[in-house]
């Protein structure tokens, strides 16, 4: 039975057509899981012709051992300093804690993060937000820290963005038999990190998924299916 997560619409209208976004519940995904096997287990039995599957970047990263216990991260002084200036929003930690900023410095390099911080400071003078991540890039934007609503044990982890998200999408596509997108969608906006088929329209995918149908707390629905809605 097709059912939306609480507080989310099952069907949205985009570009004059209606689409269902069907969340798919799974077990707790860890580094013991393989993407193609996950797709065979959870997506393949559900997909129909014309469907597009999508999966959260966090779930992909967890299979790649890119979830790191906070206790194992030792932030340098620069990370502690920079994290103090990051905007704290109610939908996620981002780089506002020393441990996530430390991982951004490692992932993106000190020079790039410092330049992004400088550009961000200039942007704030003009009342503009978001310039930091435009410069720092997807690797920085995709880093997630723990929130109160994060499912254990990941409430004690920092999760990096996935490695080679296009390749991950192709592995999932082999398992489920339909096109797949790796998405970074939250309650503030979205970004498509990888696709199995280059003809997939990333801007269109963001519009279809703009309200974050997978949810952002304990729904445990890290993947879903986009399906043209029956008229």
Task: Note every long-range contact of 203-210, with CB atoms under 8 Å and residues 24 or more positions apart, other chains counting.
Answer: 204/14, 204/15, 205/52, 205/54, 205/181, 207/14, 207/15, 208/12, 208/14, 208/19, 208/21, 209/21, 209/54, 209/183, 209/185, 210/12, 210/185
Beta pairing partners, 144? 159
Domain ranges within the chain, ordered by starting residue: 11-66+161-228, 70-156
User: What is the 8-class DSSP label of residue 177?
Assistant: S
Residue ranges in the chain modelled with pLDDT below 50: none
Structure tokens at 203: 């801007």
At residue 81, the pLDDT reads 95
Q: Cα dihedral angle (50, 212, 203, 34), rounded to 10 degrees?
A: -60
User: What is the length of the chain?
Assistant: 231
The reply to whether CATH 3.30.1330.100 applies to domain 11-66+161-228 is yes
């Amino acid at each position: 039975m097709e059912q939306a997560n609480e507080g989310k619409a099952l069907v949205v209208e985009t570009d004059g057509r209606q689409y269902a976004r069907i969340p798919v519940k799974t077990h707790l995904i860890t580094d013991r899981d393989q993407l193609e096997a996950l797709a065979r287990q959870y997506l393949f039995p559900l997909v129909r012709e014309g469907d597009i599957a999508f999966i959260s970047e966090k779930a992909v990263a967890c299979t790649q051992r890119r979830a790191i216990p906070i206790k194992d991260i030792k932030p340098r002084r620069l990370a502690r300093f920079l994290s103090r200036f990051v905007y704290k929003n109610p939908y996620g930690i981002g780089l506002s804690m020393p441990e996530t900023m430390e991982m951004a410095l490692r992932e993106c390099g000190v020079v790039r993060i410092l330049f992004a911080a400088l550009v961000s400071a200039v942007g704030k003078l003009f009342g503009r937000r978001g310039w930091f991540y435009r410069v720092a890039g997807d690797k920085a934007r995709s880093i997630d820290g723990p929130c109160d609503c994060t499912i254990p044990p990941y409430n004690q982890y920092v999760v990096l963005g996935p490695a080679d998200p296009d390749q991950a999408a192709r592995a999932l596509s082999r398992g489920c038999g339909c096109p797949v997108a790796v998405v970074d969608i939250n309650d503030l906006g979205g970004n498509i990190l990888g696709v199995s088929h280059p003809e997939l329209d990333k801007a269109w995918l963001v519009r279809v998924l703009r309200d974050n149908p997978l949810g952002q707390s304990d729904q445990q629905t890290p993947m879903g299916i986009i399906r043209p809605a029956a008229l």
